[in-house]
Structure 1
């Protein structure tokens, strides 16, 4: 008979000495009975609930449901908060604080008597940050995704939370929308609990964790308001107790093959480009060698199967009614690694054998895909020596091979000041170049890459242009937008040297992004370039600027990469 594994929490609660007394006695002020301290697996519920994070505003209730499941399975649930990141409110950008939230998660787990972890996630950065932090401790962990909002309805039209944002300027300039119109739309677009209901970054992250094997099968696509979301939360509470007994840790689930499955799945659902930066950072924490080029070689030839905004017309609620992610994963079986383990102890593809598609207009097949090749393309060239990315499924086909003159904005402030000037020398063939929005430059790499077009071109009916930046783009947005240019302009990448009127050539098929100037001129500009002054002199922001890696490496802090499961559980009393 196998020897029962000693629980980590027993180092706190199992002692018959002074420290055992201390650890147990203060918790007894909550009314816990004796048997809670006598060998029950202690499960930490990592809650990203906050009233400042509207997408996660329902997770306080979800935590109670998870606790029910943990108690039913014989565990001892203890909920704890970590920094929550609300995409719609926090400034200057939530990405600046992703790594801080991951540190909060890591140290909260490491420093407390926890045997297993439930991560309550929702809004964009709350998923990768908590997973990154949990990876760095490497305990049995399961994810409970908060779920998308119900579909928005406005004046007979189905509208997506997030996607509507990018239509505001056009609605104002071309359709004369008033303040009253927008007030009505605001309520209609976000009419229930949950995160964005498009295949934006939040839904992409939920899809990612299910494809990685970190959620119960079918969990990610259930709307937040659906009662089945709470059912799955309760079952997750039960399952994490069993995972502790099985010692099913993150490092056993998050293999190289699991990461490749996530890349393939993201391509098939038309997921956000933000997946690249987050998945790379997660891989770095758990010790899997994942490179930017892998997203192209593994995923770029995968067909688009999901007809969801921003790459299609439907919303996440429709996706769920059509069968949800289980249908997609079943359809992808020929492309996926079949034997990767998941949190329920079964192989990934084994979990989805019984999935049924109820709406082929929402979910297509490999034989009849919406697009034959929809994965993210990785570009190289003298303008992005370490790479840049573009999402072909959300771009204009006519612009995929394009040459145009650069119209350069040195910063977001410069862009806002000049983009709508009537005498700005710009037309639909121009290439908008935005500098200073990379990891160090903003700082935090904001979602501004899909900048609005000039008013005068919108009024002419222009709906898309090539846009290039070292920043990111919201997963809810669309357009021919080149993102994550690395090295970024602030550290002296070639992007910093682009001038108005320079010719730029984009060829997505050849994976090429080229600044058409001579090597001699390029070298001359490099010599003349001067680095900008640091944007912070104290605190976390200074630490971030000093240590953040470039976009192609996941924009994690260099001292957080690797070291999964490092032990600092010392008794310092």
Structure 2
């Protein structure tokens, strides 16, 4: 098997000439024959001026290169798409699969014996892992790390749970223009991903639980020197993997490792987005995520990490308390400790080395959990035949069993235009319904599931109400919110049948979400629906590909032809 510079030669019909030409051109960069004869470690560069979450990537790259060279291999840095959550139109989820395709094809197209992928902001880590599984080259994953906390008037702040909380206060008239502007400059005091248990932190913890990154890599704050020492160590591991040609993702990712990731996701109070991403990752392999099994784990696995939005702390506190290794130690026999990692260690060895931090209260024991059940539950019913998800660890307990009147918004635009209208017929006991916000309907399944409390209710002191949609929600958000209703309304799902005034019943204990309208009436409404056509936004280019091939939330929202066995 060819390796190093001889791998994947450009097709000129003459392999000898292909290698000769490749070496001639790369020598223009000043490389020696000694350098070019080494095993090659590719390193993705996801830095962008549009991506403050990845602001430390240049330093991480230099540290990785140092580790690779210290181990006698040759690093080659190459660019890929960079996606930043708050800068991607219409939504970063719309671009996740494009990044996965870009990363996979660049790994395949260029000569490398191992690859280091560097990511963080919500959709980048899942995209890169999806790519790595499909390319199946020895891979080390490096999360960029969370920001450090901010401060305002003696209060600790974190993007973006406190973004949403304080914006809610501003909408309710509790804080003024000057204060919200001051808060705006203090929420994100450093580069890195959100320092609460949002999607970026969730995916970093899942990655570590899967065994694809070094121990503690999920939680080290982005600006800390330890982040760059971990990157150097990741380079050393990648170089050894390049020399030994393994382990590959297919050798690391097993049913046990996927189960471990699900246990950790429940125990950290993880983002609901993590379930979509983990499903897409698993579908790139021979394995699957079973939503019923995930829900069953949620009944067995307690939330042990006291972190916003399910608790009180921030990622740096989780890190200093011992990080994911300490969490797995506390989870005990809920974790399969014989699962392997990229370092050659098993999780048993990783857990054995977990730091014991006296007095820390960010990671609880099973005897003293934050919540007795896991973060998420899977709901079914006539509104969600293929399932929906609720992060009940971040919901209001009194609303987890609730029946209310539907107040329907046809789209994100409709919601934006009407939610604050003083004439809107809405009370705190109603159920806000958003449709046409799923993978196809929006498009790109935006994080619009966190429907704002109508301003007139917010100003009357209402902090939470039941909200349901086929959209997603940021993992940083708090509220009694049912998401990912599948199938989505844009493909004929029953959410499209709901009318203003219909009664909707939510019962999380029974794992149900139902529209209280008889079947005969629903059939009549279904017959009156207009047939779906190709929308104007999807006539050409990537948008057309997206619209034609995107899967539903329960299948990970990947493209149908990108799964392990193709279309």
With the length of structure 2 as denominator, give the TM-score of the two structures. Answer: 0.96
* Paired residues of 2:429 and 2:465 also in contact (CA < 8 A): yes
- Tell me how far apart the structure 2 counterparts of residues 186 and 249 of structure 1 sit (CA, whole Å): 43
Structure 1 position 324 matched with structure 2 position 323: yes
* Paired residues of 2:464 and 2:479 also in contact (CA < 8 A): yes
Structure 2 residue aligned with 1:567: none
- Tell me how far apart the structure 2 counterparts of residues 75 and 513 of structure 1 sit (CA, whole Å): 55
- Tell me how far apart the structure 1 counterparts of residues 478 and 174 of structure 2 sit (CA, whole Å): 22
- Tell me how far apart the structure 2 counterparts of residues 205 and 426 of structure 1 sit (CA, whole Å): 36
Structure 2 residue aligned with 1:10: 6
* Paired residues of 1:341 and 1:348 also in contact (CA < 8 A): yes
Structure 1 position 259 matched with structure 2 position 258: yes
Structure 2 residue aligned with 1:85: 83
Structure 1 position 144 matched with structure 2 position 138: no
Structure 2 residue aligned with 1:99: 97
- Tell me how far apart the structure 2 counterparts of residues 532 and 559 of structure 1 sit (CA, whole Å): 22
Q: Which moved more, 1:317-326 or 1:535-544?
A: 317-326
For 1:486, what is the secondary structure of its paired residue? coil
- Tell me how far apart the structure 2 counterparts of residues 481 and 359 of structure 1 sit (CA, whole Å): 34
Structure 1 position 552 matched with structure 2 position 554: yes
Q: Which moved more, 1:206-215 or 1:57-66?
A: 57-66
Structure 2 residue aligned with 1:249: 248
Structure 2 residue aligned with 1:132: 130
Structure 1, unpaired ranges of 5+? 565-573
Cα distance, 1:157 vs structure 2: 0.5
Structure 2 residue aligned with 1:528: 528
Structure 2, unpaired ranges of 5+? none
Aligned length: 559
* Paired residues of 2:252 and 2:342 also in contact (CA < 8 A): yes
Q: CA-to-partner distance for each residue in 1:496-519, whole Å, 9 max, x for gaps?
A: 000001111111111111111111
- Tell me how far apart the structure 1 counterparts of residues 18 and 564 of structure 2 sit (CA, whole Å): 32
User: Alpha carbon RMSD of aligned pairs, Å?
Assistant: 1.6
For 1:183, what is the secondary structure of its paired residue? helix
Q: Any residues of structure 2 matched to 1:36-435 within 5 Å, and which?
A: 36-38=35-37, 40-246=38-244, 247-355=246-354, 356-435=356-435
Q: CA-to-partner distance for each residue in 1:42-98, whole Å, 9 max, x for gaps?
A: 111012111111101210221111000001111111011111110011111000000
Q: Which moved more, 1:490-499 or 1:243-252?
A: 243-252
**Cα gap change, 1:529 to 1:358, in 2 (>3 Å):** farther
Structure 2 residue aligned with 1:569: none
Cα distance, 1:245 vs structure 2: 2.9
Q: CA-to-partner distance for each residue in 1:294-327, whole Å, 9 max, x for gaps?
A: 3212334210111111111111111112222221
Cα distance, 1:168 vs structure 2: 4.1
* Paired residues of 1:47 and 1:120 also in contact (CA < 8 A): yes
Q: Which moved more, 1:294-303 or 1:419-428?
A: 294-303
* Paired residues of 1:488 and 1:550 also in contact (CA < 8 A): yes
Structure 1 position 448 matched with structure 2 position 448: yes
* Paired residues of 1:131 and 1:282 also in contact (CA < 8 A): yes
- Tell me how far apart the structure 2 counterparts of residues 454 and 176 of structure 1 sit (CA, whole Å): 15
- Tell me how far apart the structure 2 counterparts of residues 11 and 302 of structure 1 sit (CA, whole Å): 45
* Paired residues of 1:12 and 1:19 also in contact (CA < 8 A): no
Q: CA-to-partner distance for each residue in 1:127-180, whole Å, 9 max, x for gaps?
A: 001111111110100011100000111111011111122124432244543333
Cα distance, 1:13 vs structure 2: 7.6
**Cα gap change, 1:253 to 1:9, in 2 (>3 Å):** farther
For 1:136, what is the secondary structure of its paired residue? helix
Cα distance, 1:485 vs structure 2: 0.4
Q: Which moved more, 1:285-294 or 1:83-92?
A: 285-294
- Tell me how far apart the structure 2 counterparts of residues 6 and 553 of structure 1 sit (CA, whole Å): 36
* Paired residues of 1:301 and 1:375 also in contact (CA < 8 A): no
- Tell me how far apart the structure 2 counterparts of residues 308 and 442 of structure 1 sit (CA, whole Å): 31
- Tell me how far apart the structure 1 counterparts of residues 9 and 61 of structure 2 sit (CA, whole Å): 23
Structure 1 residue aligned with 2:544: 542
Cα distance, 1:34 vs structure 2: 0.5
Q: CA-to-partner distance for each residue in 1:347-399, whole Å, 9 max, x for gaps?
A: 11221213213444211100111111023111011100000000110011111
* Paired residues of 2:375 and 2:392 also in contact (CA < 8 A): yes
* Paired residues of 2:470 and 2:484 also in contact (CA < 8 A): yes
**Cα gap change, 1:555 to 1:300, in 2 (>3 Å):** farther
* Paired residues of 1:306 and 1:364 also in contact (CA < 8 A): yes
Cα distance, 1:24 vs structure 2: 1.0
- Tell me how far apart the structure 1 counterparts of residues 178 and 458 of structure 2 sit (CA, whole Å): 22
Cα distance, 1:416 vs structure 2: 1.1
* Paired residues of 1:13 and 1:37 also in contact (CA < 8 A): no
* Paired residues of 1:9 and 1:115 also in contact (CA < 8 A): no
For 2:484, what is the secondary structure of its paired residue? strand
Q: Which moved more, 1:483-492 or 1:171-180?
A: 171-180
Cα distance, 1:36 vs structure 2: 2.2
* Paired residues of 1:212 and 1:261 also in contact (CA < 8 A): yes
* Paired residues of 1:136 and 1:563 also in contact (CA < 8 A): no
For 1:208, what is the secondary structure of its paired residue? helix
